[in-house]
Structure 1
Amino acid sequence: AKEAVEEILRQQKPPEGVVFEIVSGEPDFLKRAIPVVKQHIISLRKKFPGLSIAVVSHGDEQFALTKKNQGEYKQLHSEIVSLRQDSDIPFHVCGAYASWKNVSPEEFPDYVDVSATGPAEIRQYQEFGFKKIVISG
């Protein structure tokens, strides 16, 4: 991920946007991934203010963001709210993967966008010219 961010920062003109893809088999992975993503966002927006950015999570880590896990992952939920409110960055999770685990879209709070599928959401951003940066664990 760091190399991909540095490559963008070396360019004279920014891409249309950046989409961070987060995917892991670890339920706690967002605790480590979100601070990394936030640092990359700071670097990218320092050089390219107003750069469009989105985040898509589509592994086991996305379930930390359900309403029932708000207490256990309070800081993480606050960081996702902050991304959306302070930085205008949408955070998507994968509805298909959630359904496979018997988790309905209503089990996620309003500040989390439940996409039909994470990979399709990422492809849609890429079709708009967004550069994908993978954060995996």
Structure 2
Amino acid sequence: MRLFSLILLLSLSSLSMADTQVDRLLEADDAPVGVVFEIIEDDDDALGWALPKVARLSAQLRKRFPELPIAVVSHGREQFGLLADEAEGLMAPIHDKAQKLRDDDIDLHVCGVHAGWDGYTPEDYPAYVDVSPSGPAQIRDYRNLGFVLIVLQGPDY
């Protein structure tokens, strides 16, 4: 029972890490240069929870800092939910959320290296998804510009 309680406590605390980081940014006197959300999950459906969380946290940030640049880099298995041939059917809600992020001026990137490992090219993704040559390099580029990194982790952590 103690082990279960510890695991539950740790999972609940990790779920709120991104929220805590955003709360700290909201309490700051000055806006950050920008924010980049990193998503790297081993679950093809992870964008189903991750993109709504990005939207919610981004809305909070933009309410306080309206001109804040925001980006998302997805570079785990979840990025395959954004393939163009997945835009209809079960993955349609994920694509709708991705398009909404782009409409809200939030850049959305996936990892070209990871896509290539599974035989996909940039042409396999819709126009509203930017295929970066490398997800980790894309994050590094944002961080070099001064963006704050916020790592999103799913409910299994």
- Superposition TM-score, scaled by structure 1 size: 0.96
Following superposition, the deviation at residue 136 of structure 1 comes to: 2.2
Partner residue in 2 for 1:65: 82
Query: What is the aligned counterpart of 2:150 among 116, 133, 136?
Result: 133
- Identity value in percent: 46
Task: From the CA coordinates, give the structure whose radius of gyration is larger.
Answer: 2
Aligned partner letter, 1:83? L
Please show how residues 41-52 of structure 1 align to structure 2 within 5 Å: 41-52=58-69
Q: Distance in 2 between matches of 1:60 and 1:133?
A: 19
Please show how residues 71-86 of structure 1 align to structure 2 within 5 Å: 71=88, 72-85=90-103
Aligned partner letter, 1:84? R
Partner residue in 1 for 2:122: 105
Structure 1: 4+ residue segments shifted above 6 A: none
Q: For structure 1, which runs of at least 5 residues remain unmatched after alignment?
A: none
Are positions 1:29 and 2:46 aligned together? yes
CA deviation string 1:37-83 (max 9, x = no partner): 11101110111111000010000000000011111211111111111
The alignment's C-alpha RMSD in Å is 0.8
Aligned partner letter, 2:97? E
Q: Secondary structure at the match of 1:21?
A: strand
Residues matched between the structures, number: 136
Q: For structure 2, which runs of at least 5 residues remain unmatched after alignment?
A: 1-17
Partner residue in 1 for 2:33: 16
